[in-house]
Structures are given as structure tokens and as C-alpha cells.
Amino acid sequence: MSSWKKNSIIILSLCCLWGCDFIKMRDGVSNEEEHTGEPIARVKNQYLYSEDLEGIAPATMSKEDSSERVERFIHNWIQKQLLIQEASTKIEFNEADIERKMLDYKYSLMGYQYQSYYVNKHLDKSISDEEVKQYYDEHIDNFILKQNIIRGKYIKLPLNAPKIKKVKGLINSEKEKDLEELNSYCLSFATKYQLDDSVWMIFDEVIQDSPLAEIPNKVQYLQNQKYSETSDDKFRYYLKIQEFRISDNISPLEFVKEDIRSIIINKRKVELAQQLEDEVYERATQNNEFEIYN
């Protein structure tokens, strides 16, 4: 959603919250006349009653949480009333314009809720690998890497981990039984690890909080190092790089696959929303449900 739309919703929401009380104040009407119970808060001639708190705290909520929510609601109400009354003494409002905006917001919200219902009901979330690949190929220039990424294995072990010297041989082995042993070992002793070398990872995120993060030239490091071991006063770090890609180059499809799926889903949502508007308009046109007077 664009920033102006977000701001419009915020402004109109405030209008909905403030509008009725503000109009009453301008007319000199106190909301005390509309209630029969005892008020629980007052700001000048505006009152808050216990019936106004209905639904604020669900019955399933604990007594402590319920009390906290009610207190917060009362505090917010007081702040709102103070601001409204301050505003009414400082600037002149166009009450008809405020009411018009409130009505427009109401209709927009109703339309948006129905649009969301329609989209969710008709949205096809299944996306084939072929669709993803096609979108990637057609928009490949949109998938430029902003960071260096790698495929490989990474392990962070406490210095007191048992049989730690055996890890180097296991991480560099291509044998299935060694990978299984390494996975079992990391599950028991590693603080952090990634052994699936088919997964692309952001290089800086992999090496953060390790001595490798202090490498002065990471591009040169990636180009020249396939395996590294280093340690600090608490941990030992192992990194085996299978493949890497440098920032400002085309991202591999596997790295952006989920992003593309999200893009396709959002594109379908937009198309369905437009489809709904077109269908409603076309049906109304055929049934002569509206006309424009010249």
C-alpha cells in the first residue's frame, strides 16, 4: 500500500474516532444526556460511561490484563478528548467536510472488506516451478544481488566440545555416512550450524559474531578461500564454501524463488481485485442499475 493511502486511512480513522464527539462539542451538546448510568471519567462536558467499555476486555482475559486494558482505554479516551477540545479552540473545522470524509471512509472500508473476501475466496495459491522460472527469466534484471551469498557448510562449536579435531575431516568429506555423523555431532554440540550446502545464505549473516566478520576484503576472501577454520576465546568456527555469488551480479533462481512466489501471489490478488470491480460494473451496466445525469 502506498504511503499516501496509509496516511489517508490513519487520518480518516481519527475522524471516525473523533468526529461525533467533536460535532457534539461544537453544538454545545453534552453526551451526559444520552446515558443513564454513572460516568467513570470526564473531560469538561464530555463523559465516559461504563457501557462505553463493553467489549473492550473479553471475558476470557485475566482480571489483571482486563484491568490494564480498561485503564489504557480510559487514558486514551481522556487524551483524545483533551486534544479535540484543544483543537476546537485553536482552529475552525469544516464539520460537513469531516462528516463527508467519515462517510467516504466507511464506504471505502466496506468495499475493501468485500474485495478482500472475494480475493481470498478465488485466489489460487498454487505456483509451479515453471511459472517461477518463467517470471525469473522475464524479469532477471530485477534480481540483482545486494549482498554476497554462499552455498556451503558452517559450524560454530564451543572450544570444549568433545572430539573437536574430528570435525575438519567430517566437514570436508563427501561420504554420506560422514555427513550423517557430522549432523548428529552438530545436533548435540554445535551452537550454530548449517550443513545443507544446497541452500544459499547471505555471507555476512553466516559469519556475523565470528572472527571471519573482520575480514577486510570479503570478495577477495570468497574468491580465494574454499575452507576456513578460526577461533576466539570461546568458540571454534568452520566454514566450507561450495559456491558463491558476489553482490551486484544476477541472483541465482534458488535464492529468490520464495520472493518470486510472493510477487506472483500479489499480482494475482491485484488482478482479482480488478476483476471484481469490472464484473460489478459490467453487471450494473447491463441491469441499468446506475446512470449519469448531464
Quote the pLDDT of residue 35.
Answer: 64
Specify burial of residue 264 (Cβ count, 10 A radius: 0-12, 13-18, 19+). middle
CB atoms inside a 10 Å sphere around CB 204? 13
How many CA within 13 A on the CB side of residue 164?
17
Rounded distance between C-alpha atoms, residue 69 and residue 71, angstroms: 5
CB atoms inside a 10 Å sphere around CB 155? 25
Quote the pLDDT of residue 33.
Answer: 53
Alpha helices in the chain (DSSP H): 3-27, 63-90, 95-122, 129-138, 167-172, 176-189, 203-207, 218-224, 253-286
Rounded distance between C-alpha atoms, residue 203 and residue 196, angstroms: 15
- Nearest to 248, CA basis, from 172, 155, 147, 149: 147
pLDDT-flagged residues of the chain (< 70)? 1-37
- Nearest to 245, CA basis, from 198, 212, 206, 203: 203
Quote the pLDDT of residue 66.
Answer: 87
Quote the pLDDT of residue 92.
Answer: 87
Rounded distance between C-alpha atoms, residue 245 and residue 237, angstroms: 21
Quote the pLDDT of residue 53.
Answer: 83
- Coil/strand/helix, residue 229: strand
Identity (one letter) of the amino acid at 293? Answer: Y
- Nearest to 206, CA basis, from 257, 161, 156: 156
Distances (CA, A) of 182 to 58, 90, 161, 167, 235: 51, 72, 13, 7, 17
Rounded distance between C-alpha atoms, residue 168 and residue 226, angstroms: 13
Quote the pLDDT of residue 281.
Answer: 94
Rounded distance between C-alpha atoms, residue 235 and residue 258, angstroms: 33
